[in-house]
Amino acid sequence: MKTLTLFRHAKSGWDAPVDRDFDRPINARGIKGAKLIGRHFRAKGWAFDYVISSPAVRCTETLDALWEGYGEILHPNWDRRIYLASGATLLDVVQDLPDDANAVLMCGHNPGIEDLVLTLVPDVAGDALRDSVEQKFPTAAVAELQLDIDHWGDAGTGKARFGRLIRPRDLDPTLGPALDRV
């Protein structure tokens, strides 16, 4: 059994004066959301034995804020393939994960992270979590997926089931979409 936790980077600052999209930072709201998710992980006893992330600034800053809330720094493996990747490319990254890792946290970008969730989890009528992701996978959202596999190379279409879906607004309503119009 493998657990894949997909984490979309926190809210970024579109008004930041950067030359490249890769260098765009997260904003104050993003920091708050990522710390909140980290505290939630700690409170619920979530643990990861492998972390992989896009090296984009908004992912590195998201993980810094997450670790602050979590109370422990986990050192990620930076993989440039994750930066703005499609769901198909992210599936390749998942299939390349080391088999001795059983609980993986991946931090990345939309639409790829959302597409990966929708690829891995079968479309079954009445699956409220999948339907919610199909509607929108917001910044700093987390999808925990369970895969009944022994080797990451066996991950594929329809092979996962939802464990949990956590959005910052689930933990703090002030981080909901009504305030998302910055």
- 116-126: pLDDT as tens digits: 999 999 999 88
- pLDDT for the residue 178: 58
Residue 14 banded pLDDT, cuts 50, 70, 90: confident
End-to-end CA distance of the chain: 41
Indicate yes or no: pTM above 0.75. Answer: yes
- 130, 123 in Cβ contact below 8 A? yes
> Pairing mode, if any, of strands 103-108 and 2-8?
parallel
Which of 8-22, 75-89, 167-181 has the weakest average pLDDT?
167-181
26-to-10, 13, 22, 49 alpha-carbon distances in Å: 6, 5, 11, 25
